[in-house]
Amino acid sequence: MDLTSLSTTEKAEAGFKMEIVNPATGVPVGASITLAGTDSKIYQDAQHKIANKRMKRMNSRGGMKFALTSEEVEFESIELLARCTLGWDDVDWEGSPLKFSLENAKMVYTELLWLREQCVVAMEDRSNYLQD
């Protein structure tokens, strides 16, 4: 078997278009988010950037005595997801179209835990990046 036929890197970089579903009904809401996968350079670079910031904080707080708060862990997970969000279609916020940006992605993921969870599940599912 040629293992390169199972490479997800290229498609993970291009992104997977995830249909947003209502968390109560499972019915698509008519909007989508495009996500880079965990095998993408986008994801790896974002993960390194976050880890480097953590190490700088660790050094400034006394090295090994450093401990992350749960709020810092949550912020880092939102930051990683936002950096892996490549765009969205038909997303409205408070009745108006919401322009895609890194800051808006962070805001949406901060406010809507259920959407954050949907995106993480989709992003981590390698099968989404093996489909044609």
How many percent of the chain have pLDDT more than 70?
Answer: 94
Give the pLDDT confidence score for residue 3 in this predicted structure. 82
Query: Which residue, among 103, 108, 119, 112, has the nearest Cα to 33 in the 3D structure?
Result: 119
* pTM across the whole model: 0.88
Dihedral sign of CA atoms 92, 94, 98, 104 in order: negative
Give the pLDDT confidence score for residue 95 in this predicted structure. 96
Over the stretch 23-74, which tens digit does the pLDDT of each residue have? Answer: 999 999 999 999 999 999 999 999 999 989 888 877 776 655 667 788 988 9
Average pLDDT value over all residues in the chain = 91
Give the pLDDT confidence score for residue 115 in this predicted structure. 98
For residue 8, name the pLDDT band (cuts at 50, 70, 90).
confident
Beta strands in the chain (DSSP E): 16-21, 28-35, 85-89, 92-93, 96-97
Over the stretch 77-127, which tens digit does the pLDDT of each residue have? Answer: 999 999 999 999 999 999 999 999 999 999 999 999 999 999 999 999 999
Give the pLDDT confidence score for residue 74 in this predicted structure. 92
